[in-house]
Every structure is written in C-alpha cells, then in structure tokens.
Amino acid sequence: MQKTTNISLGGQIFRIDNEACLLLKHYLDHVSAKFSNEPDAEETLNDIETRIAEIFGGGQEPPVLISEEMIKNMISIMGAPEEYYDDPDPSVDNTQPSKLADMNRKEMYDPNSPSAATGKALSSFFKAIGNFFSSAFRFIAIVIGFLFTLFGVLFLTTIITLALFSDSAILTPMMINLPQTLTLVLGTEEIGRYIVMSSIVILLPLLALIYLGIKIMFRIDIIPKVASISMFVIWIVTSCSLGIALASNLSIYGSNGRSVDYIEIETPPDTLYIKSERSLTPMDYKYSSIDQFQLWEDEQNNRIFGNVSFRVRGRDEGHKISVTKGAYSIVKSDAIKIASELEYGIRLSEDTLYIDECFVQPGSRWMGSNVDVAIYLPIGTVIKPVEGYDFSMLGYFDPYPDSPFLWVVESGLSAKNTPSGPYSGDNGANSEDPIFGETAYTDQQREETVTSSELNASEKEVPSVQLGISAEN
C-alpha cells in the first residue's frame, strides 16, 4: 500500500500518493520558474493552483486522492510549463492545425476570465470558512483539555487530602481520620492490600484524565499505545480484584443482632442527676469519626470505645430506662453474641443516674456495634448534671450549652418548663437509628423483638445492671 500525504492546492485539501506527489511537485516547480520574473508572479501562480484544484475536483469530504493519471490529465489540459505565454506570437502560422490546437489548449486558462475570478473568490471564501471552523474547533479542544486537566488535578488533590489530612478541621464534622476508620472497618491485616488496589483504581483514571487534557491542549503524544493498553488492562484487573475482595470482606456485616435491657423506675425523682461513672480520655487513643459514629481504638488492650446514643422522653406512665445494644456479623446468632458482649455500665441510685460515657467492644475490628440509651420520665422532671460533670461527651445535650438544668417534655428536653418545649420533635423524637437504618426503637418494638427480665429499681442504690439478653426474632 502506497503512503499518502495531505497537500493544499488553492486553499483546498487533497490527498496524494508519493509518486504522484513527485510528479506534481516537478510540474509546479517548472511553472514557478516560468513566472518567477513576472511582476504578478505570485498572483498568477495562485490562479494556476486554483485552476488545478478545480480540475482535480477539490472541496470534497473526505479529500480527493490524486493519482498520476489525474496529474497527467491535468497537464494535458493546462499544458506544459514551457508552453505558457500571455499573447500569441504573430510569427506563428495559425493555419497549421497542430499549432492552433496547442494555442487553444494553452488559452483554456485565462486568469482574467470571469470563471477564474469566480473560482478565486469562492476559493478565498471557503478558505476563510475553513480557517474559522479550524480555529473554533481548536478553541473547543483547548477548553475541553483544560477542563479534563482541571478536574483531574482537583480530584487527585482531594484524594491526597483525604489520605493524608483527614484528621484536619476541613473535613469536620462529617469525616475525621478516614484511614483509621477504614482500618477499623476492614481489619488491620487487610488494610495494606486494599490501600494499594484502591490507589491503582482511583489514581490511574485521574492521571489518564490529566494526560488526556494535556494531550488535547498541546497536541503531544508521549505515551506509546502499548503502555496505554497495558495500564488499562491493569486497571480492569485491579478493579475486579478490589470489588471481589471488598464483597468478601464486608460480607461480615450481613446480619445484625440486638439485645435490650430495662431498668424500671417505680418512683421517679423530681430532679434526676446524671454523673459519669466511667469516662474516656480521648487523646490517649486513635480517634476516627464518620457522621454520628465516634470510635477510639485502644491498641494496647485490643479494644474499641464507641459513643453512646442518649435520649430522654417524657410520658405519664411506664417510666424506665432501656439500653439497646446492636452489632453485625455474618450470621445473626454471632451478631447477637457480639451485641451481648458489649460492655456498658448504667445504674440508678436514688435520684442519681450513673452512666458510662462510652461502650467497649473487644477486638480490633469494629463490628458495627452501637448502644442506644432511652430514658422515660414524667413530664416536668428536671435533668441536671452532678456538680463538676460535663455533658459534652454525651452529645445529646449539645443544643443547651448554657443551661444549668433542663426540663423533660414529651418530645425530649427543653430549656423552658413548658409541656412541649421549643425543641419539640428534636433530640431524637423521630430520630433514625444510624446502624439499623430505621426509626429509633419504641417500647412496642422492644416488646416484640426482645424478652428481658426486668430489674425493679427503688429509691435505694442498686448495683450496675447485668440483665439477661434475648435476641430479636
């Protein structure tokens, strides 16, 4: 197969093979030499090129392929360069048929004829149109390339920020220390290979997007096709491997289990004091957080601390405290066992409620464990911290940072002693459980899903609650 080249004649694009290109170049060089000493040589040569383009049938898409036969046909119409002249020689005998034919052939192209002028005008017009669209397409390509590069750089910067600076304030409060959270969710032993595979799956497309943008803007192609195909194959294989590995690893969260304990409050106090019995020093452990979940890892003792969901409701009867524990595992029985093994202490002594600020899960991998504490008291009961105790670790009291005590209303708590309170419906009135994805537990749900021996509590001091655990059916 002969190699072809793109050329421009009279402002029009043609394709031509190598042999024909040499023949056409030879012809045009002779024509240029013929008119080199003429005063309007450049204009004459442009007119000749325009006429040649017309003979070749220019202006088509895709461009016409010029062959040797077409060039020879053009020369037979235009005449050889040495035969070009402006006016007939008076000494020539026009009666001789052969010479007359030559003259007619030579006079077929007249630069001053209307058709030549029209062709030249059309050629200039279409050349201008072509230049306009070429510039417009080039501008669009530069804009697209710039956007590709910009998006690639921004996404790459975001990924690096998440990986290296996820404990900074720019991601608070939705996400803090993402690598630590992934370690707790995926397991310490597996995190290394997941980081490698995730880096390949995420970074390769971003780098390809940046390279594509640079290639479009500057018209450079420095990466061989073999390398591009190899990187694409690597990305496909790594993506499939990562998907399979994650599906296998996260299957451990396939089933959930719950357990519920109750403390009945037979004689509710007018004022309920809250005091922490087991507190946590956050700076001593590795901290991570996503949305409502806060976790602290104690590597030395192989355990995980988690924040407790705390709620208060007002009602006229059925005053009690419920502690709901939840966890995940591959099978439900294992999930129930994990939930029952969560360590959380709560006890009521006269008018003081002693609580742990966090629960404890044994092991180095978080199993979706959570603890929900709901307290049901008469409307109008005063909730007050024991002197020196700070509510901040519980989170539930955050809307009232300046209130020395709070009143129990039907929907929760209020800084004013009113039946409904200004925060009616807030503080978990219809809160969604972040673990189980449903409305926070109600008494009816607990009675339907859990049977538990109820512990009668009086105004006298009672020990920390250790109740029987039953599973949700």
pLDDT of residue 328: 94
Length of the chain: 473
User: Would residue 417 count as lying in a domain?
Assistant: yes
pLDDT of residue 391: 67
Do 291 and 373 lie in a common domain?
yes
pLDDT of residue 309: 87
Do 82 and 143 lie in a common domain?
no
pLDDT of residue 325: 95
Residue 21 and residue 6: Cα distance in Å, rounded?
10
Residue 469 and residue 172: Cα distance in Å, rounded?
37
Q: Looking up tokens 């464990």, which residue turns up? A: 369
Split into its structural domains, the chain has a count of 3
pLDDT of residue 224: 87
Do 393 and 266 lie in a common domain?
yes
pLDDT of residue 41: 77
Do 192 and 290 lie in a common domain?
no
pLDDT of residue 372: 92
Do 415 and 448 lie in a common domain?
yes
Answer positive or negative: Cα dihedral of 440, 444, 448, 450: positive
Q: How many CB atoms lie within 10 A of CB 280?
A: 18
Q: Which residues contact 216 (CB under 8 A, 6 or more apart)?
A: 141, 142, 144, 145, 148
Do 215 and 339 lie in a common domain?
no
Do 333 and 405 lie in a common domain?
yes
pLDDT of residue 239: 95
Residue 286 near residue 180 (C-beta atoms within 8 A): yes
Residue 238 near residue 245 (C-beta atoms within 8 A): no
In the predicted model, residues of the chain with pLDDT beneath 50 are: 86-89, 92, 94-108, 169, 171-173, 419-473
Residue 319 near residue 270 (C-beta atoms within 8 A): no
User: Would residue 466 count as lying in a domain?
Assistant: no
Domain residues for the domain of 89 are 4-112
| Backbone torsions φ then ψ of 338, nearest 5 degrees | -65, -45
